[in-house]
C-alpha cells in the first residue's frame, strides 16, 4: 500500500479514544450479524461458510430460545458477554522492510490495554522506555496505554480487498516467560528481566489478575477488532489472511518461527477458508501457496 493511501485512511477514520469492549466468543455474534443482514434462514446459514458459528454453545442457546426458522441482525445484537475486557484501539503505519508481502507500508491496528493496566504498570515501571514486555522495533502504540497485540494489514480500496499480514503479541508471551523463570526459582523474591528488576508480587499479580482475561482471548479479540475495522469502517468485503505456506512464500523464511495456530486455527475459527486464489494486488510466484479468505455476503 502506498504511504499516502494509508494516511488517507487514518485521516478519514474517527479520532480520539476508540474503545473496544470484548468478551470470549463475541466474534461469533458479530460475524453472524454481518452474515444474516436483515434476515436469513437458519437452514441457508448452515450451508454457508458461517454455519459453524451456529454450533457455538452461546449462539445455539440464543437461536434455540428464539425458536424461529430465520435470524436477523437485531436478534443477535443484544448479546453481551459477561465481564468483557475494554480495550483501546489505535492506528499507525509500518514501513519496515521485513515480513511484508509487497513494497509500501502496512496499516497497523493496535489493541491496547486499559487504564487499570496503565496505572498498575506505571506504579512498578515508571519509565515507559523500561517496559520489558515491549519492543520498540515493533509497531506498538506510543501512547500511555500499553499495546497488547497488533495486526498488520495491506489493502487495495479500488479492488475492495485486504490482506492480514500478521497478528502478533509480545506482552502475553514475554510476561509468561518471566513468570515461568520466576517459578523455577521458588525462593526468589524478584528477577531481572529485560534489564529491569521485577518483584514476585508484581509479576504474579500482573499475570494472574491484570492479564487474566486477555491471555486467553487476545488473538480472538485482535482478529475481531481487525474485521470490524476492515468491514465496518473501511468497507472491505474480501479479506485474505496468510497461511504458513503463503507467509514463507511472500514474506520469507523468518515466518517459519511464527506460531502456526495464528495462521491456521484462528482464521478457521472466524470462518476463513483455504483458497488457491491470492489477493489481486500481489504478484503470482513460481510456487503458488494457498491463502485463507473470508468473503462477506457468502
Same domain, 64 and 122: no
pLDDT, position 206 = 97
Exposure of 171 by Cβ count < 10 A (0-12 exposed, 13-18 middle, 19+ buried)? Answer: buried
- Does one domain contain both 223 and 119? yes
Burial class (CB in 10 A: 0-12, 13-18, 19+), 87: buried
pLDDT, residue 162, reads 98
Boundary residue ending a domain (77, 110, 142) = 77
- Residue 206 shares a structural domain with residue 242: yes
Cα torsion through 50, 56, 62, 63, rounded to 10: 50
Residues 92 and 50 in one domain: no
The domain tally of the chain equals 2
Q: Domain for residue 188, yes or no? A: yes
Do 234 and 173 share a structural domain? yes
- Per-residue pLDDT tens, the chain, 298 aa: give them: 999 999 999 999 887 789 999 999 999 999 999 999 889 999 999 999 999 999 999 999 999 998 899 999 999 888 888 889 999 999 999 998 778 999 999 999 999 999 999 999 999 999 888 999 998 889 999 888 999 999 999 999 999 999 999 999 999 999 999 999 999 988 899 999 999 999 999 999 999 999 999 999 999 999 999 999 999 999 999 999 999 999 999 998 777 777 899 999 999 999 999 999 999 999 988 888 999 999 997 6
**Does residue 176 sit in the same domain as residue 103?**
yes
CA distance 48 to 43: 9
Please report the beta strands in the chain, taking only residues with DSSP state E, as ranges in sequence order: 18-22, 40-41, 70-71, 85-94, 106-112, 147-156, 161-168, 190-193, 196-199, 238-242, 273-275, 291-295
Instruction: Identify which of 161, 159, 194 has the alpha carbon closest to the alpha carbon of residue 178.
Output: 194
Q: Does 247 reside within a domain?
A: yes
Same domain, 130 and 233: yes
On whether both 125 and 265 belong to a single domain, the answer is yes
The reply to whether 199 falls in a domain is yes
pLDDT digits (tens, 9 = 90+) for 73-120: 999 888 888 889 999 999 999 998 778 999 999 999 999 999 999 999
Which H, E and C letters describe 182-201, residue by residue?
HHHCCCCCEEEECCEEEEHH
Residue the block writes with cell 441482525: 73
Domain limits for position 213: 3-24+82-295
At residue 17, the pLDDT reads 83
Those residues with Cβ within 8 angstroms of residue 151's Cβ, 6 or more apart along the chain or in another chain: 108, 109, 164, 165, 166, 167, 168, 222, 223, 225, 226
- Assigned domain for 29 exists: no
Indicate left, alpha or beta for 99 from its phi (over 0: left) and psi (-120 to 50: alpha): left
Distances (CA, A) of 183 to 136, 179, 189, 213: 27, 6, 10, 21
The grid coordinates of residue 144 equal 500511555
In this prediction, residue 121 carries a pLDDT of 95
- Report the predicted TM-score, pTM, of the whole model to 2 decimal places: 0.95
Q: What is the Cα–Cα distance from 14 to 40, expressed in whole angstroms? A: 31
Residues 214 and 277 occupy one common structural domain: yes
Q: Are residues 51 and 190 in the same domain?
A: no
Instruction: Please check whether residues 120 and 213 belong to one and the same domain.
Output: yes
For residue 45, the SS3 value is helix
pLDDT given for residue 298 in this prediction: 61
Q: Are residues 109 and 244 in the same domain?
A: yes
Amino acid at each position: 500500500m502506498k504511504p499516502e493511501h494509508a494516511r488517507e485512511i487514518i485521516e478519514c477514520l474517527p479520532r480520539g479514544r476508540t474503545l473496544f469492549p470484548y468478551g470470549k466468543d463475541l466474534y461469533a455474534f458479530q460475524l453472524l450479524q454481518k452474515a444474516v443482514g436483515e434476515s436469513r434462514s437458519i437452514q441457508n446459514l448452515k450451508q454457508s461458510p458461517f454455519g459453524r458459528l451456529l454450533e457455538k454453545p452461546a449462539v445455539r442457546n440464543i437461536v434455540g430460545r428464539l425458536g424461529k426458522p430465520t435470524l436477523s441482525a437485531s436478534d443477535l445484537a443484544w448479546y453481551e458477554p459477561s465481564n468483557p475486557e475494554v480495550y483501546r484501539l489505535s492506528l499507525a503505519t509500518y514501513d519496515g522492510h521485513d515480513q511484508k508481502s509487497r513494497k509500501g507500508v502496512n496499516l497497523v491496528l493496535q489493541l491496547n490495554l486499559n487504564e487499570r493496566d496503565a496505572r498498575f504498570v506505571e506504579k512498578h515501571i515508571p519509565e515507559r522506555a523500561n517496559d520489558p514486555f515491549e519492543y520498540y522495533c515493533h509497531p506498538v502504540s506510543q501512547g500511555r496505554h500499553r499495546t497488547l497485540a497488533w495486526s498488520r494489514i495491506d489493502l487495495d480500496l479500488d479492488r475492495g480487498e485486504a490482506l492480514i499480514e500478521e497478528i502478533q503479541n509480545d506482552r502475553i508471551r514475554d510476561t509468561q516467560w518471566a513468570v515461568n523463570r520466576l517459578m523455577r526459582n521458588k525462593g526468589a523474591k524478584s528477577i531481572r528481566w529485560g534489564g529491569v528488576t521485577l518483584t514476585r508480587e508484581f509479576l504474579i499479580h500482573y499475570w494472574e489478575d491484570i492479564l487474566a482475561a486477555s491471555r486467553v482471548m487476545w488473538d480472538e479479540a485482535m482478529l475481531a477488532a481487525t474485521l470490524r475495522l476492515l468491514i465496518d469502517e473501511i468497507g472491505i468485503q474480501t479479506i485474505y489472511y496468510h497461511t504458513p505456506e503463503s507467509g514463507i512464500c511472500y514474506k520469507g523464511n523468518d515466518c517459519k518461527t511464527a506460531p502456526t495456530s495464528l495462521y491456521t486455527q484462528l482464521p478457521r475459527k472466524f470462518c476463513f477458508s483455504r483458497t488457491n486464489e491470492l489477493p489481486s494486488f500481489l504478484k503470482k510466484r513460481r510456487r503458488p501457496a494457498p491463502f485463507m479468505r473470508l468473503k462477506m455476503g457468502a
